[in-house]
């Protein structure tokens, strides 16, 4: 039985989510604020977190950042904030998915299933280590090193790199990346790829503005090169789908 931590300061919504998830066979723990949520992460070790951003004590994005310091657990963000800046901030902090309020319970249940299944598949999939002159990626141990120094990658960053590393040097289309990393309901959210490509470049590349390993084919997709490649002029700027 998978366990879900529901974090929301609205009692009615928190109760509704707990009832719905329990009826679907999940063990559910609830928290009404950020401090309680962080305590539950340490004590209950949930398999997935449903996290509201509008919490009364600690902002949800800050809770997410603190969770990412200690855990790779999948996190689905709930928020009434519809601005793309808020979505990008949450994704950049390590969210796996972003659901805007109001939402349908069936949609949320589907996203929970996808996130849990994707996490299990990532644990079971075996991708050979990738070693480049600048960095190395061990997908089994989920260890990334740049120049011998450890670099922390988020679960979503690992999934994106895993898809690319299955066939190093080959183009993977935007649609395929979105479906593989975020689930079958995705295919047009190219801003997700822009966010994650840029932050991976900041972590792995010597010059993020002129990437040598994580390359963009404008309007098509991404490719991960095992050897440094001179970036042509069209690819000097950050990822633009």
* pTM given for the model: 0.61
- CATH for 3-123 (3.90.400.10, 3.40.50.720, 2.40.70.10, 3.40.50.2300): 3.40.50.2300
Instruction: Give the 3-state secondary structure percentages of the chain, helix then strand then coil, rounded to 5.
Output: 40, 20, 40
Residues of the chain with CATH 1.10.10.10: 126-235
Report the candidate in 71, 83, 92, 79 with the shortest Cα–Cα distance to residue 50.
79
pLDDT at 121: 63
Helix and strand totals (H; E) in the chain: 8, 12
Output the CA angle 98-161-52, nearest 5 degrees. 15
Provide the residue-wise pLDDT of the chain in tens; the chain has 241 residues.
789 999 999 999 999 999 999 999 999 999 999 999 999 998 888 999 999 998 999 999 999 999 988 888 899 999 887 777 888 888 888 888 888 888 899 989 998 998 888 767 655 557 889 999 999 999 888 899 999 899 998 888 888 999 999 889 999 999 999 888 877 667 677 888 888 999 999 999 999 999 999 999 888 999 999 988 765 434 444 444 4
Among 202, 198, 205, 239, which residue's Cα sits nearest to residue 221? 239
What is the DSSP secondary structure assignment for residue 101, as one 8-state letter? S
pLDDT at 125: 55
From CA 120, how far away is CA 82, in angstroms rounded? 30
Distance CA 47, CA 75 (A): 9
Domain ranges in the chain with CATH number 3.40.50.2300: 3-123
Domain covering 126-235 assigned CATH 3.40.1710.10 in the classification: no
Residue 127 pLDDT: 85
């Amino acid at each position: 039985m998978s366990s879900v931590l529901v974090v929301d300061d609205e009692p009615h919504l928190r109760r509704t989510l707990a009832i719905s998830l329990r009826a679907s066979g999940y063990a559910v723990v609830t928290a009404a604020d950020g401090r309680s949520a962080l305590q539950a992460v340490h004590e209950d070790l949930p398999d997935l977190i449903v996290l509201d951003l509008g919490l009364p004590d600690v902002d949800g994005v800050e809770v997410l950042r603190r969770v990412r310091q200690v855990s790779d657990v999948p996190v689905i963000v709930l928020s009434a904030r519809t601005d793309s800046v808020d979505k990008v901030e949450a994704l950049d902090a390590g969210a796996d998915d972003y659901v805007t309020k109001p939402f349908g319970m069936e949609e949320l249940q589907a996203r929970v299933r996808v996130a849990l299944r994707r996490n299990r598949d990532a644990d079971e999939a075996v991708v050979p280590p990738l070693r480049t002159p600048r960095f190395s990626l061990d997908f089994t141990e989920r260890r990334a090193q740049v120049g011998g120094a450890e670099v922390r990658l988020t679960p979503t960053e690992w999934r994106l790199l895993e898809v690319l590393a299955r066939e190093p040097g080959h183009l993977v289309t935007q649609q395929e990346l979105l479906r593989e990393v975020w689930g079958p309901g995705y295919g047009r959210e190219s801003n997700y790829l822009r966010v994650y490509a840029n932050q991976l470049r900041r972590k792995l590349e010597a010059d993020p503005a002129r990437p040598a390993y994580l390359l963009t084919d404008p309007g098509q997709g991404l490719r991960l090169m095992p050897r440094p490649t001179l970036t042509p002029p069209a690819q000097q700027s950050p990822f633009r789908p």
